[in-house]
Chain A
Amino acid sequence: MSVLPYLLAVFVFLVGLYGIVSSRDLIHLTVCVSVCQSSTYILLLAIGYREHATAPVYGDIPASRKVVDPVVQSLALTDIVVAVAVSALLLAFALRAFEHEGSLDPREMAELKG
């Protein structure tokens, strides 16, 4: 049980990779990349979690309460921005490639061979 959340991250990562490898549509593929990326936030947040602890925000709670790790949360925040930025760029590439090739299937656009 104590490794289950970590295993979830591993699972999501591998599932995303499978999606990328087997994809037949660049938009589908881009979404799979973002699934892959979501595994990194899951892993980060799972590592910083503590049993019976609250969020690292001290609005009204006494400072003596046990809190979860704030650093992994800030890393996950950074990671989310990176993810969206990259995904938006990938979609734009896919759109342009479609303009040029008339297809979104990676098999039909392998012009760069050898």
Chain B
Amino acid sequence: MKLPLRLAVFGVGVAGLGFLLVWGVADLPPFGHYAGPYGDIITKLVEPQRHMANAVTAVVFDYRGFDTMGEELILFSAASAVALLLREIRERDTVDVVDAIRSDAIRGLGVLVAAATLLLALYVVSHGFVSPGGGFQGGVVISAAFLFVFLTGEYHAYARLMPTKFAEPLESFGAGAYVALGLIAFGFGLAFLENFLPLGVTGRLRSGGSAALVNWASAFAVAGGFLLIYAEYLEGNMAARYRRSKP
């Protein structure tokens, strides 16, 4: 179809779809007046049942931990597929790589910022049951730490720190550990992904029972998955970019 015809088809469709969308959301409870009950029941139960201060993390890793397992596997499958698809192009394109940024100050700064981000990430992961944060967000921040190394232009440092050979096992390990933790509970005669450790004290770092382990598994899976995606996209580029900047 030519663009005008396509837009005409789309326009007619959008009239119907838009009407349907508006008609549907108009019957929702007014904004700011969520009627429950799911979230309310959880917020009441989470402290006495789970000794966790962050209800969102409790839902993600405990009440609905099985969803999160599926989610880790989505990331795992997608990242593996991206690696598979782009690796071949990259191998074809890659040539010698020379670092463009030669200033020691910038290099030092990059590593410093990366280290600080990594520390922050570990804090975010470990405090997931206490404050906003947790395995998913923390995992993303871990991967961001390595991005800083990349952004300051240290290809060799970056390649040493974060080659795909390190990201790939990390994500597989995280995803596998998540499923395995489910099966461990199973081995104890409990339900799949049921808590099998003491719950600890609310507000302390070591609260949350075995959901804390799930939290870490998820952090590894997310960090590994994101690192792999960055690596596959950025590394090929580095090669292209540096080849051009080569004298």
Contacts and interface: CB of A to CB of B under 8 A. Distances in A.
Instruction: Indicate if A touches B (C-beta under 8 A).
Output: yes
* Residue with the highest number of chain B CB atoms closer than 10 Å, among A48, A58, A68, A71: A71
A68 to B, nearest CB: 7
A7 B36 CA distance: 21
A69 B54 contact: no
A33 to B, nearest CB: 14
A8 to B, nearest CB: 10
Interface of B is mostly: helix
Interface in B34-74: 34, 36, 38-40, 42-43, 46-47, 53-56, 58-60, 64, 67-68, 71, 74
Interface of A: 1-7, 9-10, 13-14, 17-18, 21-22, 43, 46-51, 55-59, 63, 67-74, 77-78, 81-82, 84-86, 88-89, 91-93, 95-96, 99
A6 B71 contact: no
Contacts of A1: 31
B6 A21 contact: yes
B31 A3 contact: yes
Contacts of A9: 25
Interface of B: 3, 6-7, 10, 14, 17-18, 21-22, 25-26, 28-34, 36, 38-40, 42-43, 46-47, 53-56, 58-60, 64, 67-68, 71, 74-75, 77-79, 81-82, 85-86, 89, 130-132, 136-137, 203, 222, 225-226, 229, 232-233
Contact of B39 (A17, A57, A69): A69
B1 to A, nearest CB: 10
B56 A3 contact: no
12 contacts: A7-B25, A14-B14, A18-B10, A22-B7, A59-B53, A70-B58, A74-B60, A74-B67, A77-B60, A78-B71, A82-B71, A88-B79
A10 B25 contact: yes
A39 B27 CA distance: 18
Contacts of A84: 75, 226, 229
Given A47-B34, A70-B43, A81-B222, A89 B82 contact: yes
